[in-house]
Chain A
Amino acid sequence: MSADLAKHALLVEPKDGKLSGIAPVLRTFGFELVSVADVSAARAIVATSRLLSLVAIDCAIGEEAGAALLKHIKDEHSELPVVWVGTRSSPAPVSESGHAPDIFIQHPADPALLREDVEHLLWQHAYPQPLRDHLERCCRDAMRRSYTVELTLAGTYLRANRSALGGVTAILPFVGRRLSGRLLVGTERSVLAAIRRRALVPTPPATDAEIDDMAGEFANVVVGRVKEHFVLQGLDFVVGTPVVVSGEGNTLSYRGSRPTLVQTFRSEVGDVRVALCFDVLGGGDATLLDAESRTVVETGEIVFL
């Protein structure tokens, strides 16, 4: 399975603007860059592109025009992070609605600091710390309770969308009116076979279908728990059916407008990788769950109805 659908960053700058320094950094995060020289073209792209994940504005397009664009983005597309590149004499604007850019970069910027700032921005926008912590807990709880295997978080990082996750990869899509995405679980067949032997069925040896099912079911349980995080914020989505791809060196590529969060786990039977990627985080409050609906049942508890 393969596709080549990168997320986009919009650079708003006049010809020979200051954003050439930020471009290589964004490319390292897997962004495809789209440049426009005026605010109306920028607004049109912001309104129509589902893959747009970041906007960078060069103050040289004009302070007033830049501030108007910033206000428009923050009012209408609050999920989009905005980078403002200015000079010492032209600090970042604050729009009439009180919105400021997510980061202000003073030109010329040190490439290492620039990379650090952009990475921090992407983390904060796409995967705030509580969500990262929650995903880790979900994975560890699911593996411990379902298979009595302890996972230890070995690393968390962002990566571009294309991925090759291992011998067995389960991909589970979820779709909501304001939030869509998918969760991937990747590991080696031998790891799943060892977990199964140890925790579930010692004999006979598992079939390929049973191994694939384990990967899919693990993804299902993790997504179910990840959903709780969003339901408590009023966002709901429907979880699809897991699709499992197996075979040595399989490559899965997928669409996603945000960077992919990857957590790698170690266990005594081998490594497991979990990736979370979003497509859409739409604006507007019309589809938010009401306060009463923002409740969830604890996993494992029995609630008599």
Chain B
Amino acid sequence: VRKGIVMQVEKHVLVVDDSSTVRQQLEFFLEPEGYAITTAANAEEGLAAAATRQFDLCIIDVNMPGKNGLEMIRELRAVEGYKKTPMFVLTTESTKNIIDVGTEVGATAWIVKPFKQDLLLKGIRKVLAG
């Protein structure tokens, strides 16, 4: 970074959802906003991707074949480098009981599908600011 020039550092976002529709929706919505998107179709793929590089934000579905998204967050929180990484849960689940589990495993925020693009973007900018 040269003196007097502010460089925008690209933020890397990991999207984990078993629906290709949702993965593509987020990819096509967030990439033009300047985010680099990596997608995974299940928790195992997501964990593998997280092991290969440090992501700035993870957006994770709950109900997926195999390990669910909350279990994935619990595992990621135990990994050095992901203890403070923002982790958004993006799911159709909206009840208090399961959101309490989200709190317990260390999720940062809970968003119920179908998501509002403007609110999601605002939330992402908020946690990635600075």
Q: How far is the CA of A239 from the CA of B93 in the complex (A)?
A: 9
Q: Given the complex, which residues of B lie within 8 Å of A213, measured CB to CB?
A: 19-21
Q: How far is the CA of A110 from the CA of B103 in the complex (A)?
A: 60
Q: Given the complex, which residues of B lie within 8 Å of A298, measured CB to CB?
A: 94, 112
Q: How far is the CA of A224 from the CA of B103 in the complex (A)?
A: 20
Q: How far is the CA of A223 from the CA of B93 in the complex (A)?
A: 10
Q: Given the complex, which residues of B lie within 8 Å of A224, measured CB to CB?
A: 91-94, 112-113
Given contacts A227-B94, A231-B95, contact A146 B112 (CB under 8 A): no
Q: Is A301 an interface residue (CB 8 A)?
A: yes
A305 to B113, Cβ gap below 8 A? no
Closest to A224 in B: B92
Q: Smallest CB–CB gap between B68 and chain A, Å?
A: 11
Number of interface residues of B (CB under 8 A): 34
Given contacts A200-B24, A223-B92, A241-B65, contact A303 B19 (CB under 8 A): no
User: Which single member of A201, A239, A303 contacts B24 (CB below 8 Å)?
Assistant: A201
Q: Given the complex, which residues of A lie within 8 Å of B3, measured CB to CB?
A: none
Closest to B113 in A: A221
Q: Is B114 an interface residue (CB 8 A)?
A: yes
User: Which single member of B19, B93, B97, B119 contacts A300 (CB below 8 Å)?
Assistant: B119
Q: Given the complex, which residues of B lie within 8 Å of A295, measured CB to CB?
A: 95-96
For A145, A216, A228, A300, the residue with the greatest tally of chain B CB atoms inside 10 Å of its CB is: A300
Q: How far is the CA of A152 from the CA of B63 in the complex (A)?
A: 30
A228 to B25, Cβ gap below 8 A? no
Could you tell me the dominant secondary structure of chain B's interface residues? mixed
Q: How far is the CA of A258 from the CA of B93 in the complex (A)?
A: 25
Number of interface residues of A (CB under 8 A): 38
Q: Given the complex, which residues of B lie within 8 Å of A239, measured CB to CB?
A: 63, 92
Q: Is A131 an interface residue (CB 8 A)?
A: no
Q: Given the complex, which residues of B lie within 8 Å of A289, measured CB to CB?
A: 95, 97
Given contacts A213-B20, A217-B21, A301-B119, contact A225 B109 (CB under 8 A): no
A145 to B114, Cβ gap below 8 A? yes
Q: Is B110 an interface residue (CB 8 A)?
A: yes
30 A-B Cβ contacts within 8 A?
A141-B114, A145-B115, A146-B25, A200-B21, A200-B25, A210-B21, A210-B24, A213-B19, A213-B21, A220-B113, A221-B114, A224-B92, A224-B112, A225-B92, A227-B95, A231-B94, A241-B65, A292-B96, A293-B96, A295-B95, A297-B99, A299-B94, A300-B119, A301-B111, A301-B116, A301-B119, A302-B111, A303-B99, A305-B107, A305-B108
- A213-B20, A220-B113, A231-B95 known; 8 new pairs, CB 8 Å cut-off, are A141-B114, A146-B25, A200-B25, A210-B20, A225-B92, A296-B112, A297-B112, A303-B109
- Which of B's residues lie within 8 Å of A, judged by CB? 19-22, 24-25, 28, 63, 65, 88, 91-97, 99, 102-103, 107-116, 119-120, 122-123
- Which of A's residues lie within 8 Å of B, judged by CB? 141-142, 145-146, 200-201, 209-210, 213-214, 216-217, 220-221, 223-225, 227-228, 231, 236, 239, 241, 289, 292-305
